[in-house]
């Protein structure tokens, strides 16, 4: 299967005919198909060249008792689709009667307009040439940078669609490219230090390769003159990327699915309650113009929208699928996957200051004279975060800043509780930065525990 042969209208007609022949009255289908190519290099030599066509098709069928079954296939021939429908129909006999998804009531609503023009793809050899040149320049920028062990340049053309027996037809085609450069620096008698940068764009010709090189060099070199840090409580400034990583690790706070399953810090009664300082706002904006991977609809065909999660420090909304929205008596929000038990997740966080409110502070990570810790990157998020308890203990890369001088931290962890952190925010700097994780400013927090290496 290729993107060029994936005609949503014709596919729906074929599935409808096959389902009717099998006595299936209610069904839906989600598909994701892509043509990808990527390259990796090692000291100028091609390390990995890869081109692939990928496809993932999920079919759901509701039986006469209203129970749902699900199956997956990569075969879009009539016989393959017939087997998928039959398999889903057989699986529906074992469906969970206490949690039955239905079609989204918004699966045929108008979709938002996205300005995401398809960009031409270069192919493997031009990608290899560009990545070799980027690696060579990065290696030449500082004598301590001896290798770029993790690197990659990739581009893809993908198609996503959603179809159902009620006539919903959703389809989107997009291109995307990414570059990452992760350098390793070594000096005699010192521990190796590593850091890197990521860039994304609609097409590989639009990637900011020079900016990625410059950032990777700056980050790596800035950690060479490292020193140990004393264990204690510090005022901390999170870079936009680091803060978005932390919020993302606790995104179950905003998931209605997690609330219903009892694995969230939030409950049904949490809506309207104070969650953070009054000058913090948090939105999930899957339609943001800087969100390269934006889609106009989710896995159930619900239109994507901008949703306010925290407003003036209060929790305003949860992320919903059709099933969770029905349980809460609200509309789906466009954050669903597709499955027998539908997953719910965020698209693109945007952190900012509540209009008309400020912290009253004048903190600036580039000029602050008082001592603080600047955290650039958090590691081991899956192991060091207890999302259902709110606690975290995470290794980080960053600097101890004294009198404006940055001293790289040799090895340390930052620990705390996400609820205490959100109400201990001192200041949000006025400039919001776009990262590959979302949009946020530098975020200042009072009194976080930092443990240095023993």
Res 3: pLDDT: 40
What's the fold here for domain 124-156+175-221? PmbA/TldD fold (3.30.2290)
Res 360: pLDDT: 83
Q: Of 224, 232, 211, 204, which Cα lies nearest the Cα of 130?
A: 204
Give residue limits of the domains in the chain. 124-156+175-221, 226-454
Q: Give the three-state DSSP class for 283.
A: strand
Helix (H) or strand (E) holding 402: strand 391-402
Res 358: pLDDT: 86
Res 7: pLDDT: 84
The gap between the terminal CA atoms of the chain, to the nearest Å, is 56
Res 339: pLDDT: 75
Res 1: pLDDT: 38
Res 56: pLDDT: 87
CB contact burial 89-119 (16+ within 10 A = b; e otherwise): bebbeebeeeebbebbebbbeebeebebeeb
User: Mind giving me the DSSP string for 34-61?
Assistant: EEEEEEEEETTEEEEEEEEEEEEEEEEE
State how far the alpha carbon of 444 is from the alpha carbons of 91, 198, 237, 305, in Å.
Answer: 51, 24, 4, 29
pLDDT along the chain (454 residues), means of 10: 63 94 96 95 95 92 95 92 96 91 96 95 97 98 96 97 96 97 94 95 97 97 94 97 97 97 96 97 97 96 98 97 96 91 94 91 93 96 94 96 93 96 96 96 96 82
Residues 218 and 403 sit within 8 Å (Cβ to Cβ) = no
pTM of the shown model: 0.93
Res 317: pLDDT: 98
- Partners of 348 in the β-ladder: none
Res 176: pLDDT: 97
DSSP category for residue 326: H
**Contacts of 20 by beta carbon, 8 Å cutoff, 6+ apart:** none
């Amino acid at each position: 299967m290729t993107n060029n042969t994936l005609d949503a209208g014709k596919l729906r007609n074929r599935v409808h005919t096959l389902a009717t022949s099998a006595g299936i009255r209610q069904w839906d289908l989600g598909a994701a198909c892509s043509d990808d190519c990527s390259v990796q290099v090692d000291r100028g030599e091609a390390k990995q060249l890869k081109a692939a066509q990928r496809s993932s098709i999920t079919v759901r069928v509701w039986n006469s008792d209203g129970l749902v079954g699900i199956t997956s296939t990569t075969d879009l021939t009539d016989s393959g689709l017939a087997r998928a429908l039959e398999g889903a129909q057989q699986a529906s006999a074992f469906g969970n009667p206490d949690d039955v998804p239905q079609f989204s009531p918004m699966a045929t609503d108008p979709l938002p307009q996205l300005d995401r023009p398809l960009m031409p793809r270069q192919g493997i050899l031009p990608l290899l040439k560009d990545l070799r040149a980027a690696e060579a320049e990065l290696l030449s920028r500082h004598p301590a940078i001896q290798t770029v062990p993790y690197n990659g340049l990739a581009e893809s053309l993908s198609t996503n669609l959603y179809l159902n027996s009620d006539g919903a037809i959703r389809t989107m085609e997009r291109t995307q490219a990414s570059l990452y450069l992760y350098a390793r620096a070594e000096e005699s008698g010192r521990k190796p230090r590593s850091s890197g940068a990521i860039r994304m764009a609609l097409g590989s010709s639009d990637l900011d390769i020079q900016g990625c090189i410059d950032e990777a060099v700056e980050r790596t070199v800035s950690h060479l003159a490292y020193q140990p840090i004393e264990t204690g409580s510090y005022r901390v400034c999170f870079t936009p990327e680091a803060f978005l990583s932390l919020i993302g690790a606790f995104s179950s706070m905003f998931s209605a699915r997690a609330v219903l399953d009892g694995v969230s810090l939030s409950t049904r009664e949490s809506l309207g309650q104070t969650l953070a300082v009054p000058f913090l706002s948090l939105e999930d904006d899957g339609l943001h113009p800087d969100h390269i991977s934006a889609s106009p609809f989710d896995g159930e065909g619900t239109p994507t929208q901008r949703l306010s999660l925290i407003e003036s420090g209060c929790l305003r909304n949860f992320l919903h699928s059709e099933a969770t929205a029905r349980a809460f008596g609200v509309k789906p929000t466009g954050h669903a996957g597709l499955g027998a038990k539908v997953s719910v997740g965020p698209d693109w966080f945007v952190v900012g200051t509540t209009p008309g409110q400020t912290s009253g502070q004048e903190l600036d990570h580039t000029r602050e004279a008082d001592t603080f810790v600047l955290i650039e990157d958090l590691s081991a998020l899956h192991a060091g975060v207890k999302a259902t308890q709110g606690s975290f203990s995470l290794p980080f890369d960053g600097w101890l800043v004294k009198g404006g001088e940055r001293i790289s931290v040799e090895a340390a962890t930052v620990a705390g509780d996400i609820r205490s952190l959100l109400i201990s925010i001192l200041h949000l700097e006025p400039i919001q930065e776009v990262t590959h994780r979302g949009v946020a400013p530098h975020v200042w927090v009072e009194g976080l525990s930092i443990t240095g290496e023993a």
